[in-house]
């Protein structure tokens, strides 16, 4: 089997966090929202139902882990979970902490305003907090 | 336990399809996109991780059933799956068939243009096709 290759655009837009049994966990490099992206480590998947049943169950438990970590660290108003993939076909799931005072609220975040990258120190601190919480 | 009560706005915007073990399946009354909404039949849930593990697995298998039905009937370019809930807090999952020629492509559908209701005949035919395919 070929090694897993992350889509170029996902790689460019995100910061690596860690790997759980199914997914690579990425932090979207956009300081406007605490935003994780989970990528099942298989090549050539584009839809959730391309995963076997067992992997589907693992996926939803990893989405839950992502959600709980964001809730613990940020106490958001709502979590948005989405598998869209109209632009990047590699299957990936967005898990985004939303706040009533965020830029896009109450709309979805996509296509609103411009990404704002984290500073090096912000990214380092956040990666540390998230990996610690996800592995706890 | 209180009987399940569907959120008023979801009720207003959709057409009833059927019930699978966990979710009520609704058809969004917007002829621009084949668009299902799945609502787990519990009151007072707002996040996927409010569901027990077993129900989470059922949810993803019902999402898969919705996806397969849309693929079979419409051969879309992509399926979008999302649990957002910033406006309607009752947990509900969007499963939307997307096409390169649809109004919002490649963006998500929310907040783009205006809903276009089905005619009575269109709705009747589509409800029939969808329920038949979902129950096959």
Q: What is the pTM of this model?
A: 0.96
Give the pLDDT band of residue A128 (cuts 50, 70, 90). very high
- Cβ atoms of residues B98 and B80 within 8 Å: yes
Fold of B8-121: HIT family, subunit A (3.30.428)
Give the pLDDT band of residue A4 (cuts 50, 70, 90). very high
A59 at interface of B, judged by CB pairs closer than 8 A: yes
Q: Percent of chain A beyond pLDDT 70?
A: 100
Q: What is the pLDDT of residues A34-67, one digit of tens each?
A: 999 999 999 999 999 999 999 999 999 999 999 9
A18 at interface of B, judged by CB pairs closer than 8 A: no
CATH of A8-104+111-135, one of 3.30.428.10, 3.40.50.720, 3.30.70.260, 3.30.590.10: 3.30.428.10
Q: How far is B121 from chain A (nearest CA, A)?
A: 30
- Cβ atoms of residues B7 and B91 within 8 Å: no
Pick the residue of A83, A98, A102, A104 with the most B CBs within 10 A to test the interface with B by mutation: A83
Q: Do A98 and B81 touch (CB under 8 A)?
A: no
Q: What is the pLDDT of residues B17-66, one digit of tens each?
A: 999 999 999 999 999 999 999 999 999 999 999 999 999 999 999 999 99
Q: For residue B1, is pLDDT > 80? A: no
- Cβ atoms of residues A48 and A55 within 8 Å: no
Q: Is A61 left (phi over 0), alpha (psi -120 to 50) or beta?
A: alpha
Pick the residue of A108, A109, A110, A113 with the most B CBs within 10 A to test the interface with B by mutation: A108
Domain limits of chain A? 8-104+111-135
Pick the residue of B82, B89, B105 with the most A CBs within 10 A to test the interface with A by mutation: B82
A67 at interface of B, judged by CB pairs closer than 8 A: yes
Q: How far is B113 from chain A (nearest CA, A)?
A: 14
| Cα angle for residues A105, A80, A22 (degrees, 5° grid) | 155
Q: What is the pLDDT of residues B65-99, one digit of tens each?
A: 999 999 999 999 999 999 999 999 999 999 999 99
Q: Considering only the beta carbons, identify the residue of A63, A83, A86 that sits closest to B105.
A: A86
Structure tokens at A10: 């996902």
């Amino acid at each position: 089997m070929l090694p897993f290759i992350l889509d170029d655009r996902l790689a460019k837009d995100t910061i690596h966090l860690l790997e759980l049994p199914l997914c690579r966990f990425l932090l979207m490099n956009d300081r406007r929202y605490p935003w994780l992206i989970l990528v099942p480590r298989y090549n050539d998947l584009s839809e959730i139902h391309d995963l076997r049943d067992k992997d589907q169950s693992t996926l939803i438990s990893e989405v839950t882990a992502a959600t709980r970590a964001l809730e613990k660290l940020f106490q958001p108003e709502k979590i948005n979970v989405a598998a869209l993939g109209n632009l990047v076909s590699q299957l990936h799931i967005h898990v985004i902490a939303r706040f009533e005072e965020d830029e896009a609220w109450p709309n979805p975040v996509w296509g609103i305003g411009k990404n704002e990258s984290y500073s090096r120190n912000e990214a380092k601190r956040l990666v540390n907090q998230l990996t610690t919480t996800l592995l706890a």
